């Protein structure tokens, strides 16, 4: 059910924004807010928050796993380090994309 809701929200978002994107002409000559900079800041904030939450959940799960099974602590530690690297890469990719888009 949760997966269906996520798919439905993605389809809804695409169907709402697609007409505006395809109907847009060239950039207007008036000086307005630089939306690329604003959205880049929001994307970095969201990626940092999601990364922090995911790292906290991974650390908590690894700590619980080591407490339940001390013999598997080395394997759990290795998997935790790999998971933390992959989670942190999400924020780094967002930062790199933001840095490239905002000149």
Q: What is the pLDDT of residues 60-69, one digit of tens each?
A: 999 999 999 9
User: Which tokens is 99 given?
Assistant: 């840095």
Q: Give the model's pLDDT for residue 23.
A: 64
Whether the predicted pLDDT of 20 surpasses 70: no
In whole angstroms, how far apart are CA 8 and each of 3, 13, 15, 44, 77?
9, 9, 10, 25, 37
* Between 2 and 53, the higher pLDDT residue: 53
What is the C-alpha to C-alpha distance for residues 82 and 6, in angstroms, rounded to an integer?
A: 27
Q: Which CATH superfamily is domain 32-103 in?
A: F1F0 ATP synthase subunit C (1.20.20.10)
Q: What is the pLDDT of residues 68-95, one digit of tens each?
A: 999 999 999 999 999 999 999 988 998 8
pLDDT tier at 21 (50, 70, 90 boundaries)? low
Every domain of the chain and the residues it spans: 32-103
Query: What is the gyration radius of the CA atoms in the chain, in angstroms?
Result: 20
């Amino acid at each position: 059910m949760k997966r269906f809701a996520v798919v439905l929200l993605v389809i809804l978002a695409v169907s709402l924004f697609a007409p505006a994107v395809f109907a847009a002409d060239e950039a207007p000559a008036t000086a307005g807010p630089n939306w690329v900079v604003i959205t880049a800041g929001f994307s970095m904030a969201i990626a940092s928050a999601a990364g922090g939450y995911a790292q906290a959940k991974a650390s908590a799960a690894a700590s619980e796993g080591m407490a339940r099974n001390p013999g598997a602590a080395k394997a759990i530690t290795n998997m935790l380090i790999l998971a933390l690297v992959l989670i942190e890469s999400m924020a780094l990719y967002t930062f790199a994309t933001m840095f490239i888009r905002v000149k």
